[in-house]
Amino acid sequence: MSQNISENRYNNMQYRRCGKSGLKLPAISLGLWHNFGHVNVFSNSKDLIYTAFNNGITHFDLANNYGPPPGSAEEVFGKIIASDFRKYRDEMIISSKAGYTMWDGPYGDWGSKKYLVSSLDQSLKRMKLDYVDIFYHHRPDPETPLEETMAALSLMVQQGKALYVGISNYEALEAEKAIRILKEMGTSCLIHQPRYSMFDRWVENGLLDVLENEGVGCIPFSPLAQGMLTDKYLNGIPADSRVATSGVFLKESNITAENIQIISRLNEVAKSRGQKLAHMALSWILKDKRITSVLIGASKSEQITDSIKALNNIEFSTEEITLIDQILKG
């Protein structure tokens, strides 16, 4: 049964220009890495899309291998779009990626033109779409020439299968090369999607400068460090937490006494700002004008509405930034 689409959906979301492009993205975007596979409850997945869209989140981020099983997140999302959101397609930014193992044999992984073109065709069929708004190369391929990978991305734009293209998990020098190769081909690199959080700051070692200089947007994933930058683990490991139920991306070994102490001190800073720790962790990333949007994941609708509260306070004083840096150094 269809839910209602809110007429006030654009009232409270902030939108930021993506690099030097004409495209704006919501400050918070929804990633479908978890909670949209065939193993998940379909009605809940649909609720998550409705909640996001009704709160001005127009950008939905997928990849060919999201699930489980791989491909199922795109299928589930495609089913939701077809049944409930077809008339709103032009209000949505839908992205997908390829670069990790998707099918057997030598053509189902990495960065060859064969793989990338085939993968996008498969993604479009799964989502029942004519095009995606953004298509990313998901990770650098150490063996395929960068020119071939970028030529595949450029071809997708020329064919109308992707309006924009981006890269993900590229370090500063690789990103700079990729962006310039695309530019020489007449295709702009719209955006880069790196992992970035208070606990994982590698993008500050040159990558953000490259993106700023080249006029490319940035949309970090894992801004809460898989849940560590929340108050969830302050008093032990909850039974329903990602550590307890999965332990794949966030392991119990990450929840050390030292980390708990750091998280606890950060939580005190958040309280002094009138925020939850999770809100502060998102605001801390969004304080940087080079950041276009930040990707959140959600298993419950209220997590989406809660995350949006981070936008109420994204300004930090010099003292707060200094204190946070000191805490993170341990």
Torsion of the alpha carbons at 251, 169, 259 and 309, rounded to the nearest 10: -100
Residues 271-293: tens digit of each pLDDT: 999 999 999 999 999 999 999 99
Mean pLDDT of the region 230-259: 66
Q: Can you give the pLDDT at residue 174?
A: 98
Mean pLDDT of the region 155-179: 98
Task: Report the topology of domain 15-226+280-316.
Answer: TIM Barrel (3.20.20)
As a whole-number percent, the residues of the chain with pLDDT over 70 amount to 93
Residues 201-214: tens digit of each pLDDT: 999 999 999 999 99
Answer left, alpha or beta for residue 274, where phi above 0 means left and psi between -120 and 50 means alpha.
Answer: left
Chain length of the chain: 330
pLDDT reading at 121 higher than 80: yes
CA distance 76 to 70: 11
> Could you tell me if 295 and 61 are in contact, meaning their C-beta atoms sit under 8 angstroms apart?
yes
